[in-house]
Amino acid sequence: MMLETERLILRPIKESDALALFPIINDPDVASGLLTMPYPYPEDGLVPWIRKAQEAMGRKEQYHMVIVLKKPGLPMGVCSLSDLSWEHMNAELGYWLGKKYWGRGYMTEAVTGMVRFGFEELGLERIYACCFANNPASARVLEKVGFRYEGCARHEYKKDSEFVDMLHFGSLREEFLTHTAGD
Q: Which residues lie near other proteins (CB under 8 A)?
A: 87-90, 125-126, 128, 148-158, 163, 168, 170, 172
Of 30, 18, 29, 84, the C-alpha closest to 56 is 84
80: Cα within 13 Å, side-chain hemisphere: 24
CB of 91 to other proteins, least distance (A): 12
Count Cβ atoms below 10 Å from residue 48 Cβ, excluding itself.
12
Phi–psi pair at 98, nearest 5 degrees:
-60, 140
CB of 84 to other proteins, least distance (A): 13
Q: What's 100's DSSP letter?
A: G
CB of 116 to other proteins, least distance (A): 18
CB of 17 to other proteins, least distance (A): 27
What value, to the nearest 5°, has the Cα angle with vertex 124 and ends 118 and 128?
Answer: 75
Nearer to other proteins, 5 or 138 (CB): 138
CB of 16 to other proteins, least distance (A): 31
| CA dist 56 → 61, 67, 80, 121, 139 (Å) | 5, 19, 11, 18, 27
Count Cβ atoms below 10 Å from residue 175 Cβ, excluding itself.
15
Nearer to other proteins, 140 or 154 (CB): 154
Nearer to other proteins, 136 or 151 (CB): 151
Nearer to other proteins, 47 or 164 (CB): 164
Nearer to other proteins, 27 or 125 (CB): 125
Nearer to other proteins, 39 or 128 (CB): 128
CB of 27 to other proteins, least distance (A): 23
Burial annotation 93-120 (CB, 10 A radius, 16+ → b, else e): bbbbbbeebeeeebbbbbbbbbbbbbbe
